[in-house]
Amino acid sequence: DTGVSQDPRHKITKRGQNVTFRCDPISEHNRLYWYRQTLGQGPEFLTYFQNEAQLEKSRLLSDRFSAERPKGSFSTLEIQRTEQGDSAMYLCASSLESVDEQYFGPGTRLTVT
Amino acid sequence: AQKITQTQPGMFVQEKEAVTLDCTYDTSDPSYGLFWYKQPSSGEMIFLIYQGSYDQQNATEGRYSLNFQKARKSANLVISASQLGDSAMYFCAMREGKRNYGQNFVFGPGTRLSVLP
């Protein structure tokens, strides 16, 4: 068990560009969550998957954000036409369906210039 | 309205003493779960403890215990025998809805705990 991994760890992009982040959950975990955390704040829930199905999406997730988990394993989060307000840490977590404990990855820090 | 309130932006505690971090929550859903996470300066969120809304007894995990007062909508974290490594941000969080259905997760603003030698 290597834990939840995220790639890249850091991303700097120019406003208007598209970015994609990847999350690899713990292998037997069928639930996967995406959060966004800005400096000095708690994480904000964005969306979660059970296997390949996206079961819940926050109102925070604008049309520029899309998440996928095509085979029920890794997930990608894409942000189109990035804005400076998208600068944040993007956290991924995974869990088993039967328990509430979520294991978090190290996060991807996005800076939009 | 804030769903999770943590009124202590920062707390100090002497090493080896106990400390209580406050958390109050707001929900009309009868089924919910309450969590505490620790985030050290390295940034990774670490799960500490969980309490279900129907659990009769307060949750405990090693030096961590959750003082659950349902009527007051309070879920305070108690850390006994503080250690220097406990210095971190602590987040209270809530899952609304049943575990196997659509869910919403909300985190509080956090409390920064500093353990003094």
Q: What is d(CA A107, CA B108) in angstroms, rounded to the nearest whole number?
A: 19
* A60-79 pLDDT per residue, tens: 788 999 999 998 899 999 99
Burial A76-100 (b: 16+ CB within 10 A, else e): ebebeebeeebbbbbbbbbbeeeeb
Distance in Å, alpha carbon of B14 to nearest chain A alpha carbon? 24
Q: Do the beta carbons of residue A106 and residue B58 sit within 8 Å?
A: no
- Res. A37 pLDDT band, cuts 50 70 90: very high
Size of interface A-B (CB pairs under 8 A): 58
Q: Which residues contact B87 (CB under 8 A, 6 or more apart)?
A: B40, B113, B114, B115
- Res. B1 pLDDT band, cuts 50 70 90: low
DSSP, collapsed to helix, strand or coil, labels residue A73 as: coil
Q: Which is nearest to B33 in space by CA: B97, B77, B86?
A: B97
Substitution target in A5, A45, A47, A103 with the highest count of B β-carbons within 10 Å is A45
Distance in Å, alpha carbon of A86 to nearest chain B alpha carbon? 18
- Res. B31 pLDDT band, cuts 50 70 90: confident
Chain-centre distance for alpha carbon A37: 10
Which residue's entry shows tokens 């979660």? A48
Q: Do the beta carbons of residue A104 and residue A45 sit within 8 Å?
A: no
Q: Do the beta carbons of residue B64 and residue B86 sit within 8 Å?
A: no
Q: In this predicted structure, what is the pLDDT of residue A1?
A: 55
List phi, psi (to 5°) of B114. Answer: -120, 125
